[in-house]
Structure formats: C-alpha cells, structure tokens
Amino acid sequence: MENHIKIFAGNANRPLAEKIAARVGIPLSAASVMRFPDGEISATYEETVRGRDVFIIQPTGMSPNEYLMELLIMTDAARRASAKRITAVIPFFAYARQDRKDRSRVPISAKLVANLLVAAGVNRVLTIDLHSPQIQGFFDIPVDHLYAAPLLVRYLREKLPADNRVVVAPDPGGLKMAYSYSQLLDAGLALAGKHRTSATEVEALELVGNVDGKDCILTDDMTTTAGTLCAAAKLAKAHGAKSVRAAVSHCPITALGVQRLKDSPIEELITTDTLLQQEWGDFPITILSVADLLGDAIQRIYGDESVSKLFEIHQGRTQ
C-alpha cells in the first residue's frame, strides 16, 4: 500500500494526521508548507506523488482563510506533480454555515468553497458532520460524509445511567440530530426554543419535554461562542435537570465561548479532535479521536470499497 498511497498534512492539525496515518499503517508523507515574508503560502512535496493516490488532511477551522488556502495550494501542487487522485480530507469544513441566501446581497460561501476545491484539482472530499448536509450537493465530485455521533454515544453510554438520560436539542434546527442521539442512547428527547439577539448572544425562551431529575445531554454539530449551548443549559437547569453535559462534533471555540462554558451549568463538554484544541484551563473537556474513523475511510476509498459500511461498523460498536 505504501508505494501507491500518500497521506500528507497541512499545518491545521498535524497530530490528527499522524494518528490517521498510523491507523492506515503507513508513515505520514513529507511535505513542506511554508510562508514567504509577506505571508504568501508555498507548498512542496518532498517525495514523488506521480501516479499515487494522494490524501491531504486539512481541517479548515480556527484560521479558515489560512488553512483553506494551504489546502488549495497543496492540491494544485499535487495535481501538477501528476498525482493519480487527490482526496481532500477535511474533518471540519469551514464556511458551512453560509449555505443559502437567507437575505438580500449575501454570498453562499459554502458553494464558493466547493467550487474552489474542485477548480484546484480535488477529486474527492472526505469530511465529518457538515453543518448542513445538503452541502454535499454543492460538489460535482464524490463526497464521503461521516458522522462523529457513534464515538460520542459510546462515551455517553459508559458515562451516564441508561434509565436517566435525556437528549436536549438546544434549538429547533438541532432537533433531527438530537433525535438521532436519543435513538442511539435509548434516551428521552427535549427541545429548547431560542431567540438570537446578535451574532454572539442567544436567549433561551422555552423548553418542551421533561428534564426534571434527568441527566441532560445537549447535542450540536459545533460550538463557537457557546451561546446556544449555555442558554439551553440554563433553561434545562431551571426545569430541574440533575446534570447537564454537551456533546458536539466540532469545537472551534473562542475565548468568549470558553468563559461562557465555565460560567454555565454545563459540567462537561465532549467533542472530537477534528480541530486542534487550545488550552482550556480547568473546564472539564473530553476529546475523542476521529483518527480511526478517518483512517478506515481512507483505506476503503483507496481500495474502492464501500464507505457506508463504516456506519454499520461504528454504530455496532456503540450498542
């Protein structure tokens, strides 16, 4: 396999890339992604990629403009070096929140990013928990869309009593995800209503469902300023929740978000390593690795096998 498959990493999350390569059973291939004095990006592959199946691991969160540009330049370099196929492994896909024109004179940035990736030479995309699943339709190339829920569910099954769990959707848009978690956890379901007062401020208005005396699990695909999660957590506590935890697939958290979590009733945040996490201080955070999931997907893509089989495998492990 090592002679035909090459796994490279940008600067966004090299520790995750090393774990993925270890799962696949090959060393991480050598590439240099440098900056010129004026900030321009340069990428050089230190080994041949001619005729190889190239996988570039690069989440685009936290510094999305920098990391997206790195990915585009690395893709162009691989294409010009005659790579056979280029798969962009994007554990966290930035700009996914801008997926529709919801008012006048605004962009559909998720579509723009899809166009840029295809124009650069990406042949396939592998990602986890897109903010809007319909973004898959923005691409005219195959997109393999994986889910972090089975990893989070396995942890929560071991953490909380089976007969006292309630999954809480922090807003109506997250109800479908919360329902999926409730089915996997054999748990109850509740819904918090919210009103967004600004880009960083959220007010929780009402809670539908019984959380009195229950261990509540807030679910979401991502959190940045934690406004939605914290507002829902306060509402759940006001309705008698015994404990409140949050489970999110991605955590591009800001300093404001960390402080809000520390000041909130949330006892623990469970997330994944799709993004490289910074120092959190004394707030309890549990980080689960998606390396095995992505490594298995890469092996299946390389072998022209079904990636959908991974859903069966990983969901089966949570039972």
Structural domains of the chain in order of their starting residue, each with its CATH number: 5-148+291-318 (3.40.50.2020), 149-288 (3.40.50.2020)
pLDDT of residue 267: 96
Question: What is the pTM assigned to this prediction?
Answer: 0.92
Residue 75 tokens read as 């893709």
Q: What's the CA gap between 61 and 274, in Å, rounded?
A: 9
The stretch 200-226 carries a mean pLDDT of: 87
Active-site residue identified among 6, 19, 194, 234: 194
Q: What's the CA gap between 43 and 48, in Å, rounded?
A: 14
The confidence band for 319, taking pLDDT boundaries of 50, 70 and 90, is very low
What is the maximum alpha-carbon separation in the chain?
61
pLDDT of residue 317: 37
Per residue in 269-304, pLDDT (tens digit) is 999 999 998 777 788 999 999 999 999 999 999 999
The stretch 226-240 carries a mean pLDDT of: 94
Active site residue 194: yes
Per residue in 138-161, pLDDT (tens digit) is 999 999 999 999 999 999 999 999
Strand order from edge to edge, sheet including 124-128? 5-9, 53-57, 85-90, 124-128, 143-146
Per residue in 40-71, pLDDT (tens digit) is 999 999 999 999 999 999 999 999 999 999 99
Query: Is residue 71 packed enough to be buried (19+ CB in 10 Å), middle (13-18) or exposed (0-12)?
Result: buried
